[in-house]
Amino acid sequence: GLYYDNILGCMELREQIARLSLDSGCQLTAEDIVITTGCHEALSASIHAICEPGDIVAVDSPSFHGAMQTLKGLGMKALEIPTDPITGISLEALELALEQWPIKVIQLTPNCNNPLGYIMPEARKKALLAL
């Protein structure tokens, strides 16, 4: 508790998570896993790993304020997609946006969404993945 650990997280924890992932059919090693101190850090690290400044990221609107701060801080452009408080992001609007813009990433929270609080219906989640 009085020193900094590895930036990727505690090795013993990463090894245990890799072991547990075998039960779900994943073949991960501890080196494949990064432990973060929360969702905001995980979001920032993943977006930073995939995108470059100037890239366009599609987000649900309204979106998590922390995500918007992260995108702005990393020099990325957020393209807001209308979102229904019951069914989630408009798949029709997202499809149109994907046809019109060079969107690099789609960032949204389909379960326990912040700030709307919805849980996207399973059929719409599957349609999102197909899209």
Strand partners of residue 60: 81
Angle between helices 91-100 and 122-130 (to 10 degrees): 10
Tens digits of pLDDT across the chain (131 residues): 566 667 778 899 999 999 999 988 999 999 999 888 888 888 888 999 999 999 999 999 999 998 999 999 999 999 999 999 999 999 999 999 999 999 999 999 999 998 998 999 999 999 999 99
Assigned token pair, 120: 């996207």
β-partners of residue 89 are 83
Q: Which helix (H) or strand (E) holds 84?
A: strand 77-84
Q: Write out the two tokens for 17.
A: 């998570």
Which residue is it, tokens 């813009």? 101
Domains present along the chain, CATH in parentheses: 1-35 (no CATH), 50-130 (3.40.640.10)
Per DSSP, the three-state class of 30 is: helix
Q: Which residues contact 39 (CB under 8 A, 6 or more apart)?
A: 66
Read off the pTM. 0.81
Residue 70: which residues within 8 A CB-CB, separation 6 or more? 40, 43, 44, 47
Tokens of 84: 């229904």
